Chains A and B, each alone.
Chain A
């Protein structure tokens, strides 16, 4: 091949790299491993992790462990899906395009809106993109968020909106119920507000109960209403579209994707079918069309004039690679569960949480939950004994073979020594009983 290229050695092909920056002695990396050695090495490294299948854990907060039916995993791993690039060539990529169209359709049904894009990176970046979209649609520059929103998502939101200098304004909560302060919302809503964002269920697990009123107030001020969801909850709960959301965002990981130490994740992004919204959507969209002769139904990426490769600095978002395969997993999952399966999973999650709360409430020295509101599958647990910190409490649980919830006292000091716990259908009665038993010992300082 070198001869046909017309060079005598490979180095000639790199002669245009200035000698000053040519690596003289190669990269300093460990010597190459055989497949077998690499397998041994990575397996042994990962074996230092303790998966939640080996110990009851009560962690959620943005990614949630759920059962993934075996066929979902096996289908999504099919190499025609796995090893394809973005479906630029529609004729040879109908499978991926149709799967993504189905994902968009299923998510639209789930959140009760008309249109979903084919994915964002995660819930947090979807919130960031939603705020930017609200600003584009309304021409306004302030975005209201609940004070109790996920701190990670808030940080991402602030970074995403720092370019066009949107102002992120927090709205306080009722000390007893955790609910959004309607008086404060009313006071802050005005002609400068681009959008209002809530999380339902909230980061701390309770439901926002005044959603209808929030929607009305928001609409009244000419702002857009954005709702963040855990999609599993929508097997049971009223969807955002039913109570007036213009945009729904969320984390699609629990729909058939593993927790994976927090990634890959799947950003859900959906909106109502209104031209002013759809034309401002970020991210890829797959649309239904026909062949040029009009005879056969088919699918293609569409409305691409919104996107970076055509619109450049005026595009609605810079997103290019997204989380397509996670979206396919979500489509297969939702199709497999159907309405009754999804409802059953959602009910079991909530039922397990209700059971855990009921039992934990009987443990002296704990307040569970801290807010008097209905909860879905996450709830707060507060150590009320003055000398017992939540970190110590969690350490003791761990010694007793149970992993407690995520401490939130760092981000919300006013909530005290508090953690958020999560239950899903993966938790058995034994798991929860073990948690309660360990909690009672941990409060007493026993091992």
Chain B
């Protein structure tokens, strides 16, 4: 199967920018009608002009339809992007989140007019708390990293309340990059612990790393190698004995959901990625939602407001009365639209559905791992079984044929399949981090393995083809060095640079004459 992505061109270039389209005076059909009064804004405060493009509605629709066709989503094909859990996103969730009773309500409406929204959030919180084995869950964070930051602020508040000065957060060398940054943003120094030969946290090293300065350990479990941290009880004991807290990065919850709960393993703070585990679409980068759950002791530090239910008044309400709350980390109450989708998903899955999803996700990842073990050029540094994802190394291909993990990833695009995450985690050379998810069929997985087999063969027969892949996508490989060295980040900057080029040309032409 040879993949051809749409490639919209005009004048030899790809789809023009909106600033290069349209014509004077054009706009969409919407208009506001007659105005009721003069505004009370003095002339001096008004802007003279604004450089926005002028397109008719059909022009806008065609342009963005073209752009969408030059984009690849889960609905387009297999998307085994490791640690991103790109499972199918049920359409019913979109339909429900798009109801006027969800989209057209304002966060400052009086509580009696938003009882449905509050009840939904209340129910969702209870479900998430049950899934992770925690006491309460704050729904505010907009993304996983945002949840991490909140988690770290709670860690700080906890030790401040105890009058302890703890300055260090421990992070394994296999952790997501956000862990390091989130801890640093909250004012902690980051201490890195190595992984052992089995790809798990080196427990002896952890024992040596903890001290009275340890505020927390941030841990992803299953970790980014897709391996369950089977020493978790020992790890929890070491961290807690040192007086530290245990933080769960929920990016990989899809590997254990319904099988075991972070709270039962001793985690004190847990974040969820609703846009991963709970099937809300990722929208090309967001919006997501990264709720944070905590154990009983830490509840009081959670942001305001929390949704509560008054039995007396038989109504849901927003509780701001939390004297030691850290305050807010986002305006309002979280990405409500995303919460509706995750809630719908949990309703439809139920306990058995969530566990079945985990089973299928883990079977699919192990199937790929086993099949790829037989493909020459790839190897696995750490033995399985894995959980929901697995990290292959293309090191043999690189050593033998000079074909890198990047070449493999780019070549896969020509098979109509998205590339795995590559060069991560950094502890695996030429890493390809593969997360198939539970919503893929065996046939799709076989197609993926077959594609890698073909690529491995072509590394011998046609290495140049792999180095110049992809060719079936809207565009070939881009000059990323140029993009960073001479950044053009907006139409304005592009225009300025073009003007300069024209001026320079003019100047040199003058010099010549």
Contact = CB atoms under 8 A, between A and B. Distances in A.
Most buried by A among B26, B53, B86, B418: B53
A355 interface: yes
B286 interface: yes
B173 to A, nearest CB: 11
Interface string B37-58: 1111110011101111111010
A81 B68 contact: yes
Interface in A417-431: 425, 429
A432 to B, nearest CB: 7
A145 interface: no
A18 B233 contact: yes
B422 to A, nearest CB: 9
Contact of B47 (A48, A79, A239): A239
A68 to B, nearest CB: 9
Interface in B313-346: 326-338, 340, 343-344, 346
B355 A26 contact: yes
Nearest to B484: A302
Interface in A306-336: 307-315, 317-326, 328, 331-332, 334-336
Interface string B101-114: 11111111110111
A47 B115 CA distance: 9
B283 A92 contact: no
Nearest to B57: A71
Interface stretch (A37-45, A177-185, A186-194, A382-390): A37-45
A39 B188 CA distance: 45
A371 interface: no
A305 B493 contact: no
Interface stretch (A116-124, A213-221, A439-447): A116-124
B472 to A, nearest CB: 9
B178 interface: yes
Contacts of B413: 89, 91-92
A163 B480 contact: no
B106 A124 contact: no
A155 B109 contact: no
Interface in A13-69: 13-18, 20-23, 26-35, 38-39, 41-43, 45-53, 55, 57, 59, 61-63, 65, 67, 69
21 contacts: A27-B130, A29-B354, A35-B348, A43-B96, A50-B114, A53-B100, A81-B68, A84-B71, A84-B73, A94-B474, A156-B331, A163-B152, A234-B50, A259-B103, A263-B338, A287-B489, A291-B479, A321-B288, A334-B52, A344-B31, A344-B32
A21 B260 contact: yes
Interface in B234-282: 256, 258-261, 264-265, 273, 275, 281-282
A337 B52 contact: yes
A42 B102 CA distance: 10
B409 interface: yes
B38 A209 contact: no
A352 interface: yes
A143 interface: no
Given A39-B92, A315-B177, A16 B228 contact: yes
A290 interface: yes
A208 B324 CA distance: 34
A248 interface: no
B156 interface: yes
B475 A313 contact: no
B258 to A, nearest CB: 6
Interface string B448-481: 0000000000000000000000100111111110
Contact of B14 (A94, A119, A331): A94
B35 interface: yes
Given A99-B64, A105-B19, A109-B491, A352 B36 contact: yes
Contacts of B473: 91-92, 94
A22 to B, nearest CB: 6
A41 B347 contact: yes
Interface stretch (B140-148, B292-300, B394-402, B499-507): B140-148
Nearest to B476: A291
Contact of A22 (B30, B74, B259, B492): B259
B285 A324 contact: yes
A98 B15 contact: yes
A299 B14 CA distance: 10
B27 A340 contact: yes
A146 B45 CA distance: 20
Give the bracket for the number of chain A residues in contact with chain B: 35 or more
A363 interface: no
Interface in A75-91: 75, 77-91
Contact of B40 (A165, A293, A354): A354
A104 B347 contact: no
B1 interface: no
Given A75-B65, A341-B28, A123 B331 contact: yes
B207 interface: no
A297 to B, nearest CB: 5
A432 B36 contact: yes
Interface in B94-134: 94-96, 98-110, 112-117, 119-120, 127, 130-131
Contacts of A43: 96, 99, 101
Contacts of B64: 75, 78, 99, 328, 332
B170 interface: no
A122 B330 contact: yes
Nearest to A404: B110
A145 B152 CA distance: 25
A286 interface: yes
Contact of B50 (A110, A331, A375, A432): A110
B34 to A, nearest CB: 9
Contacts of B364: 1
B494 interface: yes
A175 interface: no
B104 A65 contact: yes
Contact of A81 (B94, B284, B326, B335): B284
Interface in B149-180: 149, 152-153, 156, 176-178, 180
Given A87-B284, A105-B19, A321-B287, 20 more contacts: A1-B364, A21-B264, A49-B105, A49-B117, A59-B106, A83-B73, A91-B413, A95-B68, A96-B285, A114-B490, A162-B186, A263-B338, A264-B335, A265-B142, A289-B478, A323-B286, A324-B286, A338-B54, A340-B27, A350-B41
B351 A348 contact: no
Contact of A336 (B60, B152, B367, B418): B60
B385 interface: yes
B260 A51 contact: no
A236 B46 contact: yes
A23 B493 CA distance: 56
B286 A119 contact: yes
Contacts of A169: none
Given A6-B370, A324-B284, A91 B18 contact: no
A237 interface: yes
Most buried by B among A51, A59, A242, A354: A51
Nearest to A297: B13
Contact of B328 (A13, A155, A207): A155
A7 B346 CA distance: 29
A50 B110 CA distance: 10
